Every structure is written in C-alpha cells, then in structure tokens.
Structure 1
C-alpha cells in the first residue's frame, strides 16, 4: 500500500492522539497550528471522495438548524464552496435526524458511513494557551464537553485538560467556548 504525505501525517497524528499525546505536547501543538483544518459535516467520506461528489450547492449549509456550517472560500479551487464546520464560531450538535446529511442531493454526505456520522474530528489542547496552565481556574471545556461527549478530564489542578481521543466526537463545543485569549487553547484536527 502506497503512503502519501497526507496519509503519513494522519497516521502520525493518530499515533500521537492515541495515548501518546501527553508525552509529546509540543509536537502536537506545532502540528495543530500549522494546518488550518476544514472539518467536514457528519457523513462526509474521505476528503478526495468528498470533493469529487460535492456539488457545492449549499443545501447542507442551509439545512443546519444551528448554523454550524459555512461555505469554504479560499485560494484552493477544489475546496471553494464546499461545506465546513464553523470552527471557533459554532459547533456540530450531531442532530438525531442529520438534516445536513439528508439535504445533500449528491451523496457527498451519507448516512451510509456511520463512523463519520459519530465523529468528524478530534480536539487537541494547546497547553501553553490554556488558562489552567497560567494558574487561572477554568473548567469551561469540560463543562461543555460533558453536555455532549464527556471526553475531557483534568489530570490535576494546574494542568491543561486531557482529551480522550476515542470519546471525542470533534463537535467543536470545547473550542467555541474556550475563554483563552488571544489564542484559543483548543483546536480541531481533521480525521
């Protein structure tokens, strides 16, 4: 099996996230900061397949009752007009009826891919930005996550949160409500 550059990084990131990320927080933070991620809606297949199928019609964006999706506008012509999560502005609620998926006329979003209907990304803590590391009491990310997935815990009082990559759905609630300023202490990594 041929491994391309993206496959290599994905494999590397998954290894880091799978229990080793506490041993390499600096490397993980560097990776999270270097890639502006497009987090696709639930039901999206692998990126290449998604880009081939998506008509850029905006039906999924209009169907989201929480305005969690936006069209992508950037220099890359292949991504132009495709839907992505409004990371840092809104978060995915994983609606029980998946209106965004059902609105997709091309099949680019599909309920046939159950794994992508339960997990769209993984949250990563940028430890140096976390208020807890700066000595300020904060539990906002865990409070928001407990409402949805329960993937965040605190190892001790002065440490940043630990995210259970297996339980994290990538909804983005923790990132939206993170009060760290000027840099948000939580980023989402695409699967």
Structure 2
C-alpha cells in the first residue's frame, strides 16, 4: 500500500516538474533584486492582500515566506508580484493584484511546488485543495450586462495591455497568433487573449465565460437574469482567484482574501452583496 502511494506521488511530482521546466526562463528575478528585500522582512502586512494559491493563514504566511520570489519566477501568467516598500504589506512577500492580473489556476500549480518553505502549502496541489478568497459584487450599478451591453475592443484591449509576453505589435493590433515554437508560458497567455477576443461583440459575460475554475466554471460563477439583463452570481465553488476582477471592464467585482462562501453568502444565499 505504501509503495503504491509513493508511486502516485512520484507521478504527480513528475507532471508538475515537467510543467515547471516548460515555463522556466521567463520572469526570473535578478539575484540582486531578490536579495535586496531581506532586510525589510519585518514590515507588517496590510489587511486584505490576495495571496497566491495555497497560501497558509496570513500571520503564518508572513512568518514563513522568505521573499525568495520563486513563485513569481514560475508563474506562467505573470500573476504574482512582490510587495515593495511603499505598500508596507510584508515587503518582498508574494501577492496578487487582481486588477493588474488575476490568477488563472494553471495546471499543476507550479507556484506551490516552487515555494521552499510551505508558505504556499504543498498539499494544495489540485484545484479542490486551493482556496484564495471569495469574489463579491461591490459596484452593481456599473455592471454593463444589466443593460445588455456588448464587449468592445477597448474592453479587450485592457487585458492585452496587462500581458507581458506579447510583442508591441500584437498589443497594438489586439491580435495574437500561436506558433509551434512559442514557449508554454507564451502559448497559455495567447490562448487567454484569443478566448477574450472571441467575446468581442457579444453581450458582456466576461467574468463567467472566462472563469478558469475547472472542470466546470459555472459552479464558481454564472450569469442570471436580473432587471431585464444579466448579472453575475457568485457560487459556492469560487476560490477567489481574481480572474473575474481583472476581466470585468467596469470594476464590478472584488476579492475578499481568505473569505469563504459560507462567511459571505450563507445568510443570504442567491445574493451577490457581501
């Protein structure tokens, strides 16, 4: 029995390490930059930072994160940032700003595997074990789906502007093509842009249509009829990745880090208001 478990773990590790190798070499921090944040490790975290997948509770996270930047280096979507001195949120600690780039729940969670201390819990190696927070609606009246408005090129352009791996020409034209020799990281980000471009001219449902929760995004978020239009409904499987926050063109959504569905919605099921 023990031998069988070891073989299963070994197979999973091989799969995840292979994925990491595919995206290696992108977004790597310089040693000087990584080393320069050690002296600032005593800064306290500002409440409300969204942490990468697998993050342990905040106080524990701050004591365990050694600000090495390994999670940032292997993130295929460039979702992870390191806190700078102005933020005073545990300078050098890894976080995600969903307005700049959400987490797209990539296969195998290489950021978790890359963490050398367990600040990102190595048990969180599948989507069922990952919980980052909970999406909430903070600006209902701004939702353009309520008025059945269409997705425009400008809305799509925002996400092109967030994407670091494409060329200036691709960013300007709002069009990408995937080539056989593109690194895996580039392919993943271009695939996201192509899915986004396919929504142009359709009634806005970007948050639901591009939700990365697998195998069924509708378990995490879906569009429901409201006031003659449509409106996003946050559902129990939401894990707070922040992709919907980045995708929303009018800042309707926000993530409550570490919050659970029960805490936010249990008392008023079916409501999108926290």
**TM over 0.5: same fold?**
yes
Give matches, 1:26-105, under 5 Å: 37-75=48-86, 77=88, 79-105=90-116
Distance change >3 Å, CA 119–CA 133, structure 1 → 2: same
Larger Rg: 2
Quote the residue 1:19 is aligned against.
none
For 2:143 and 2:77, the matched residues in 1 are separated by 27
Quote the residue 1:11 is aligned against.
none
Higher helix share: 2
2:240 counterpart (156, 170, 179): 170
Q: 1:152 and 2:164 equivalent? A: no
Q: CA RMSD in A?
A: 2.6
Residue pair 2:54, 2:131 contacting (<8 A) in 1 also? no
Q: Any gaps of 5 or more consecutive residues in structure 1?
A: 1-34
Q: Any gaps of 5 or more consecutive residues in structure 2?
A: 1-45, 150-202, 259-274
For 1:37 and 1:74, the matched residues in 2 are separated by 17
Residue pair 2:104, 2:212 contacting (<8 A) in 1 also? no
Tell me the TM-score normalized by structure 1: 0.69
For 1:64 and 1:98, the matched residues in 2 are separated by 8
For 2:47 and 2:122, the matched residues in 1 are separated by 26
Tell me the TM-score normalized by structure 2: 0.50
